[in-house]
Amino acid sequence: MTIAAPNTRAIPVIADDSAEFHRSRLRTALNFCARQPLGTFGMVIVVIMAIAGLCADWIAPYSPTANDFAAMTEAPSWAHWLGTDQFGRDLLSRIIFGARTALIVGFSCAIVASVTGLILGVGSAYFGGRLDLYLQSVLDVVMAFPLIIMALAVVAIFGTGVHNVIVAITIPLIPRCARVVRSSALAIREVPYIDAARACGFGHARIILRHMVPNVMAPFLILLTAFVGQAILAEASLSYLGLGVQEPTPAWGLMLQGGAEEYASTAPWIAVFPGLAIALTVFGFSLFGDALRDALDPKLRDR
Amino acid sequence: MYRYIIKRVLLVIPTLVGAAALVFLLMRLIPGDICVVRLGSGGGTFDERAVAACHAQLGLDRSMFVQFIDFVWGFFRGDFGISMWSGKPVVTEIAARFPISLEICILAIVVANLIAIPLGTLSALKQNSPIDLVIRTISIAGLATPSFWLGILFILAILDISQSAFGTPWMPPIDYVPLWQDPIRNLSMAIFPALTVGYRTSAVTMRMTRSAMLEVLREDYIRTARAKGLIEHIIINRHALKNALLPVVTLMGIEAAFLIGGLVVTEQVFNLNGIGRLFVQSVQNQDYTMTQALVMLVVAAFVVTNTVVDLLYAWLDPRIRYA
């Protein structure tokens, strides 16, 4: 009984703490919105695109692949808000479904690339020595390939399609993350608390995961957001060149490839709207990423 | 300084050899036999002898190591072999398409800096004002806009404007004429792709100019210049901008990547027969000799640019030289 008493009293204290915690989080979020109007605008765009991608099946007014030969290259109207393409497919529906393709590719590439980069970067910095030297030389070589060139080379080997495009864009992004994370991690390795952790006899895994990784989260998150935009842009470029996502999968770059130039003068909406979708989404991610950097990196806060 | 130069230049060699090894290995990762894929892609039948002849022609019957040495040696001699698609030497194909791409690159750099440096400076001088906000938005939009879409929009605008001005739609010419033969025709072909690529490239430079300028404007020597009563535009031009442009030089390496990426896509939009288009075609046609030569060429150009930028920076900023 005497033992249970402090416990029952302790519970509400914890609950209070977490409520306080949530309130302060909300305040942080509101603070972020007030300080970073552009970043908030970017976040709103990203959220809209995410909803469009996730709920495409319910939102889209038509099927993205249904041809309607009675309504080819129709101008925007109440029936087709953004008009139709040369096969009579509803552009709005294709753009909404295209958001799904873009976000799948964007997030898969960004997450896989930055997590791999995080492991390589922190590992390289923590263990140092030979491993660091060899790993850095390999990553330097991969960095010598401009993103789109590496992606094209990978597509040349493995062929086109969503999965190959994800691989093709992920590979060149990995060293870009590893390099940034490594340089942050190198600074952290010299900090006394890492020595303290070592002196306590903690294993490598514990020191890396509990003490180093949380401290490189700021550059990691900034890179992750930047990568999503870059990957969406790269996917659109590859698809536009006919070397990315293939028909009938709706993808923004692919929509510009088909007949955008051919129908430029008669049906400009075919060329305008998908490109606008790409630009807006990437714009949203860049704005959000920039604001995140300003918020997470105090050195840049006033610049 | 000399030690730094030698060290930096020598660093190029392992990077290029590493890149060559990577390209070489990637091209051998292609699932199946290149010759079977090539001969079979037509849908017709083929016999063993054709495959063997193809192997011999590509040198695939030799050991991997000999092939690699041959590949690297050929690269240094400027011999990349025969295109698997057209049957002509790869070098001839590349040489024919090089001038147009180079011209667009140069024009794009000019366009980029003409946009970026004045706007970046203005943005820094009017920090956090509406002008700053607009310029920063233009810059971020530049990074977000895909160059092929921008190119398509240019074409749309050209068609519309020429239609309403002359009554007939006009399109920029697509066959290359050297600048000295017909400058107007040449420029009317190259300027729109250059604008497309240049705007995207300018975005990076603009941001760098802005943040470098902001930093410099807080330096003591700027306060001193103000305190002794110098006219504002002399302070900006002579004291601030000169120092602020130093880090902007280092961006040339990143710009090079943007230019290459931009060319690959933009040449496709404007139907120009340059290096970028050749690259895309070689990937589409499974022309592996051409693809590997072009990847190598681009990587070499990129690595050399970055080295030159590093050296230039060390030359401009003595702190690095003696560090």
**In chain A, what residues touch B197 (CB-CB under 8 Å)?**
none
pLDDT at A119 exceeding the cut of 80: yes
Query: Given this model, what pLDDT does residue A1 score?
Result: 39
Phi and psi, residue A90, nearest 5°? -70, 125
Q: What percent of chain A has pLDDT over 70?
A: 88
Burial class (CB in 10 A: 0-12, 13-18, 19+), A120: buried
Average pLDDT over residues B272-288: 86
Residue B290 near residue B90, CB atoms below 8 Å: yes
Q: What percent of chain A has pLDDT over 90?
A: 23
A11 or A90, higher pLDDT: A90
Distance of CA A26 to the CA centre of its chain: 23
Query: Given this model, what pLDDT does residue A7 score?
Result: 44
Contact between A275 and B260 using a beta-carbon 8 Å cutoff = no
Rounded distance, CA A206 to CA A219, Å? 21
Q: Sign of torsion, CA B318 B319 B320 B321? A: positive
Rounded distance, CA B130 to CA B126, Å? 8
Rounded distance, CA B56 to CA B65, Å? 16
- Average pLDDT over chain B reads 83
**In chain A, what residues touch B14 (CB-CB under 8 Å)?**
137
Average pLDDT over residues A234-259: 86
* Gap from B183 CA to chain A (nearest CA, Å): 26
Residue with structure tokens 């083929």? B46
**In chain A, what residues touch B153 (CB-CB under 8 Å)?**
271-272, 275
Q: Which residues pair with B82 in a beta bridge?
A: B89
Q: Which residues pair with B178 in a beta bridge?
A: none
- What's the pLDDT band for A111 if we cut at 50, 70, 90? very high
The top-scoring range by mean pLDDT among A72-81, A83-92, B284-293 is: B284-293
- What's the pLDDT band for A21 if we cut at 50, 70, 90? low
**In chain A, what residues touch B278 (CB-CB under 8 Å)?**
none
Q: Per mean pLDDT, which range of B124-138, B191-205, B302-316 is the poorest?
A: B302-316
Rounded distance, CA A250 to CA A64, Å? 7
**In chain A, what residues touch B21 (CB-CB under 8 Å)?**
141
Instruction: Give the type of residue at A20.
Output: E
What is the 3-state secondary structure of B202-264? HHHHHHHHHHHHHHHHCCHHHHHHHHCCCCHHHHHHHHHHHHHHHHHHCCHHHHHHHHHHHHH
Query: Given this model, what pLDDT does residue A279 score?
Result: 92
Residue with structure tokens 């020597």? B221
pLDDT at A303 exceeding the cut of 70: no
- Interface check for B199 against chain A (CB to CB < 8 A): the answer is no
Nearest C-alpha neighbor of B207 from the set B253, B263, B139, B157? B139
Rounded distance, CA A212 to CA A135, Å? 19
Contact between A141 and B19 using a beta-carbon 8 Å cutoff = yes
**DSSP-assigned states of every residue in B108-122:** HHHHHHHHHHHHHHH
Query: Given this model, what pLDDT does residue A113 score?
Result: 95
Residues in chain B: 323
- Interface check for B95 against chain A (CB to CB < 8 A): the answer is no
Contact between B152 and A260 using a beta-carbon 8 Å cutoff = yes
A224: Cβ–Cβ under 8 A, 6 or more apart, which residues?
A: A110, A111, A114
A260: Cβ–Cβ under 8 A, 6 or more apart, which residues?
A: A270, A271, A274, B152
Contact between B299 and A237 using a beta-carbon 8 Å cutoff = no
Q: Which two tokens stand for residue A301?
A: 């806060």
Chain B residue with Cα closest to A261? B152
Put simply, the chain B residues between 267 and 286 with a CB less than 8 A from any chain A CB are 268-269, 279-280, 282-284, 286
Nearest C-alpha neighbor of A293 from the set A220, A238, A234, A241? A220
Rounded distance, CA B109 to CA B190, Å? 13
Burial class (CB in 10 A: 0-12, 13-18, 19+), A250: buried
Give the pTM: 0.85
Nearest C-alpha neighbor of A236 from the set B279, B105, B152, B27? B152
Contact between B283 and A156 using a beta-carbon 8 Å cutoff = yes
The secondary structure of residue A211, as a DSSP letter, is: I
Residue with structure tokens 């990547």? B257
Beta strands in B89-185 (DSSP E): none
Residue A303 near residue A290, CB atoms below 8 Å: no
Contact between B144 and A283 using a beta-carbon 8 Å cutoff = yes
* Gap from B46 CA to chain A (nearest CA, Å): 22
Chain A residue with Cα closest to B24? A153
Average pLDDT over residues B295-312: 85
Phi and psi, residue B146, nearest 5°? -65, 135
B262 or A171, higher pLDDT: A171
pLDDT in tens, A120-178: 999 999 988 888 888 988 888 888 888 888 898 888 888 888 899 999 999 999 999 99
Average pLDDT over residues A241-247: 86
Contact between A256 and B264 using a beta-carbon 8 Å cutoff = no
Contact between B27 and A157 using a beta-carbon 8 Å cutoff = yes
